[in-house]
Amino acid sequence: MIETRHNGLFSLRFERLTAVGLRHGVFSRLGGVSEGIYASLNLSRSTGDAAEPVRENRRRMFEALGTTPELSLTSWLTHSNRVRVIASGALRDKPHSDDTHADAMITRARGLALTLRFADCVPILLYDPARGVIGITHAGWLGIENGVLGETVRAMREAFDCAPQDVLAGIGPSIGPTRFEVGEDVAARIQAAVPEPVVLRHEGAPRPHVDLWRAAAAQLRASGVREIETAAVCTASDTARWFSHRAEKGRTGRFGVAVVLD
């Protein structure tokens, strides 16, 4: 991962995606104006933060990305496998219409920033340089169970004729395998949806842990994606830099991940 600093903001970029010229960023919680449990670059109002600091935080993030909030689209996350195909003219969509509820977005529209918000769930960026198509996916354990990554790759193939072997993937910061403790039922449900072993039994731990990074990578590989870069950054282990719903007991903000096709 490549560390980037811009006017107090700290972000990460994937080496492979950067090498092929894709504009993107995984923005930490540093460099914003929100206070208290939302300090400081909180990108979500759904957590209870006030509108004005979130608006300013969004402006700062998009400035660091070289664009503006007006040239961006997001979706309301539902922990599903729904993929939103973004066509030209999408900026005219009403922000609360039903078609904005999704956990993945794909597009080949140039100059349009796709962005989602995270606090332990797995962010995944996808790019097909051959077809000029980008994607962003939010994969919590329910999304993994529902096969959201396979659905995203399938949508790229069906909507834009992408070949999975041409797709480059980046798996961003999320809760890591040493911190994601779950019950036996949840562990079994996740494992049933993943073609590789992802349930861990740590010595002395009363319950199983799940490796969501490996789960995401396994589902991508099963869909035909070959080039996958994993940040291996645990949000729950570094709340000084990242928001973590689990580590901060639900009282926290959301960090932003964004990607733009030039």
Q: How far apart are CA 118 and CA 26, in angstroms?
A: 10
Looking at residue 92, what is its pLDDT?
Answer: 56
pLDDT of residue 91: 64
pLDDT digits (tens, 9 = 90+) for 183-195: 999 999 999 999 9
**Cα 246 off chain centre by:** 17
* One CATH from 3.30.1780.10, 3.40.50.10480, 3.60.140.10, 2.102.10.10 for 2-260: 3.60.140.10
Q: Give the Cα separation of 184 and 192 in Å (integer).
A: 12
The mean pLDDT value for 169-192 works out to 99
Residues 70-111 pLDDT 10s: 999 999 999 999 999 998 766 655 454 545 899 999 999 999
The answer, yes or no, to whether the previous bond of 40 is cis (omega within 30 of 0) is yes
